[in-house]
Structure 1
Amino acid sequence: MFWNIVGWVIFGLIAGLVARALVPGKDDIGLVRTVLLGIAGSIVGGWLFGLLTVGVRGFEPAGWVGSVVGAVIVLVVYNRITGRKRRGARS
């Protein structure tokens, strides 16, 4: 059980860091949010993969590519909701 949690944290961290590198602009979301971003991305990626292949299977984790794609989607949505990274916005 402990190693499963550690695995998810490491997996989420890597997927979240890759997603942050792919989305332009600076992210000030910190390490914990980056891990949560990667974990949420894995769930979203698994859901999207299920929709595109064999239909809705519920919330299942995705592989590396699906996790990164899902994390990019989650990060873009997060930035839209919170108003971060708006181009041309005044400070």
Structure 2
Amino acid sequence: MMNGFSEEILMEIIKASTELADLFEEYSEETDNGFYLNKEGMEILGESFGNIHEDMRGMVFEHLLMELEDREIPFDIDQFIDDDSRIIQ
């Protein structure tokens, strides 16, 4: 068990974040400020996050950010933040 999560849960987190990174890569468009998800990609990402258990969303999002960094995909995190400075979930 790591960070209070079982190995099975950690594997689910890694799998979910990898799938989200694949979506990001497929539906993103490059701009001067990095990569942004297009409208269809944001809808799919939102649906995908909605299917992730609430308790795991933060960990999945953190791992998604690491996965995008590992893939050397620059992005602007502001696209994931709403007007109240919360991560969109």
Q: Do they superpose with TM above 0.5?
A: no
TM-score by length of 2: 0.31
- Give the TM-score taking structure 1 as reference length: 0.31
Higher helix share: 1
Larger radius of gyration: 1
Q: Which has the higher strand share?
A: 2
